Amino acid sequence: MDYLKEYKKWCESPEFDEETKKELLAIKDDEKEIEDRFYQELEFGTAGLRGVIGAGTNRMNKYTVGKATQGLANYILEQGTQDKGVAISYDSRRMSKEFSLQTALILNANGIKTYLFENLRPVPELSFAVRNLGCTAGVMITASHNPPKYNGYKVYWDDGSQIVAPRDKDIINKVRDVQSYSEIREISKEEAEKSGLFNIIGTDMDNKYLGILKSKVLNPDIVEKEGKDIKIVYTPLHGTGNTVAERLLNEIGLKNVYVVPEQKDPDGNFPTVSYPNPEDKKAFKLALELAEKVDADVVLATDPDADRLGIFAKDTKSGQYMEYTGNMSALLIAEYRISQMKEKGILPSDGMFITTVVSSELAKAIAKNYNLECIEVLTGFKNIGAVMKKAEENKDKTYVFGFEESYGCLIGDYARDKDGIAAVMALCEAACYYKSKGKTLWDAMIDIYEKYGYYKEAQVSIVMEGAEGAQKIKDMMTNMRNTPIERIGDYKVLTFKDIDKDIVKNIETGEITKTGLPQSNVLYYELEDNSWCCVRPSGTEPKIKLYMGVKGNSGEDACNKLEKLKEDMIDIVK
């Protein structure tokens, strides 16, 4: 793309409004900024759109959102499913409300019915709403846990899962076919309402969604009893979480829920955090201060669209609040729920436990212990959703639990995306259960390690922004793909998987087999002693991501091994 030519077009063409032109003329002397805004079109990828808010082809704005929506509308019309409608929700980010209304009206202008939430709601509730309303699709306006300057656009299909192959590619092609912004159809809200195409949803859907979650509580009597004493600190990090979370916890019997006051209200500027991500310990600063003040048992945080959950739990022996990774919190929920299902005789004999290639190997140990089939998929919860859909269609397996290391899990089949709200509920239930046994959540985590082994994992993200960064990431992946690696630090490589090429190579014998996974730009190294490493570029951010895991004889042993492996992996990539 000739970025200067495209910039000039946006500054002069009557297709673009005066506000957009004014923003662009203000950067007329900054060629690097112009290049970054116009060197490419913001790619409608397999996760939809995600980018910095602003004017330009490589930005989130009403023109790029409009083009994406017109492409989606063209696809829906081709499928003939426009009467089923599209559910739309949004988070607290800047322009989210405006983009969601725009999305609804463009779909309406194409004769497609929409169900727009009256106010911001979590991603998992949107996934639930798509299924509950029998919609053909769903759209969530969110950039998840990205910094404040970002926003995004996620597309779901009729099963409530984000779009997967081959549908994702078909929709992408429809978006690319929209050559001009003048092709985007328009209708007024008044006209859309009069025609019955524009519909508002809200409280009734909340009631249905929360009703399903409450039905998933395994020990309601214990929650009711211990909920009088246990203390929970929760923060939605200025996002959607507290539209339903506090209400849910109160209704299941938790009487001492403290929501961080400075972070309770939605705010797209995220004034108290630079990075609204529960994976980042700094995001917990105010929550941990409140926890110390009220002597909380558990500290919980959800990201802006409330599909991810971070947790700290108090260790009464040391008095410290202990941090959990996404693997740890999900597997604590899994062990609690699966063990209780088995004890109550409701664990399905055909049960499946779904995990991802970059998540903890501890998942396989738990699944084996309870005779569940452990199914590994590529990164991204939509891949877990795809397995759920296939099992639902074939009626041959029953979903029990699914998670990915990026702080997300799903405790039931009512939705097809990770659910931070349900995870908040499940962890609070687990805290009540273990309290009734004289244990904390941290005690429960140590029990899991003692039972299965000390599995530890880490993830490193190397940020490389702009066109230059994108090329560097591409070169890194090419170099690793084409360079045979027989050792990584202290470990011999046993097998090498190039998932993009569908190759599994046994390093010792040279034998080559297939991965059996969909094509994806992922390199995986199986190492000695239950250790592993994985490399992939992020699908939504300008990063290359390194994942690794080890199994130690103790917590200290595992931490030491992991730190060394992390350093060795960084050296190889750089």
Query: Residue 273 has which token pair?
Result: 């955090």
> What distance in Å separates the CA atoms of residue 437 and residue 445, rounded to the nearest whole number?
14
Alpha-helical regions (H) of 227-270: 245-252
Task: Report the Cα 533 to chain-centroid distance in Å.
Answer: 21
Q: What is the bridge-based pairing of β-strands 408-410 and 232-235?
A: unpaired
Q: How would you class 560 by CB atoms within 10 Å of its CB: exposed for 0-12, middle for 13-18, buried for 19 or more?
A: middle
In Å, what is the CA distance from 441 to each residue of 146, 326, 336, 559? 29, 15, 10, 20
Task: Report the Cα 450 to chain-centroid distance in Å.
Answer: 30
> What distance in Å separates the CA atoms of residue 71 and residue 292, rounded to the nearest whole number?
51
Residues contacting residue 221 through CB under 8 Å, at least 6 positions apart: none
Q: What is the bridge-based pairing of β-strands 454-463 and 543-552?
A: antiparallel
Residues contacting residue 227 through CB under 8 Å, at least 6 positions apart: 252, 253, 254, 255, 256, 432
Query: Residue 7 has which token pair?
Result: 């910039």
Query: Residue 529 has which token pair?
Result: 């002693």
Angle at 498 between CA 495 and CA 503, to 5 degrees: 75
User: Residue 367 is which amino acid?
Assistant: A
Element (H, E) at 137: strand 137-141
Catalytic site residue 144? yes
Residues contacting residue 432 through CB under 8 Å, at least 6 positions apart: 219, 222, 223, 225, 226, 227, 230, 254
> What distance in Å separates the CA atoms of residue 521 and residue 375, rounded to the nearest whole number?
20
> What distance in Å separates the CA atoms of residue 203 and residue 455, rounded to the nearest whole number?
42
Within 478-527, strands assigned E span 487-488, 491-498, 503-506, 512-513, 523-527
The answer to whether 34 touches 3, Cβ cutoff 8 Å, is yes
**DSSP letter (8 states) at residue 151:** E
Which residue in the list 92, 144, 359, 520 is annotated as catalytic?
Answer: 144
Within 437-565, strands assigned E span 454-463, 487-488, 491-498, 503-506, 512-513, 523-527, 532-537, 543-552
The answer to whether 541 touches 146, Cβ cutoff 8 Å, is yes
Query: Considering only CA atoms, which of 334, 336, 331, 324 is closest in space to residue 300?
Result: 324
Query: Residue 81 has which token pair?
Result: 């499913």
**DSSP letter (8 states) at residue 283:** G
Question: In this structure, what is the dihedral angle of CA atoms 404, 158, 68, 35, given to the nearest 10 degrees?
Answer: 10
Residues contacting residue 550 through CB under 8 Å, at least 6 positions apart: 455, 456, 457, 529, 530, 531, 558, 561, 562, 565
Query: Residue 213 has which token pair?
Result: 């979650």
Catalytic residues: 144
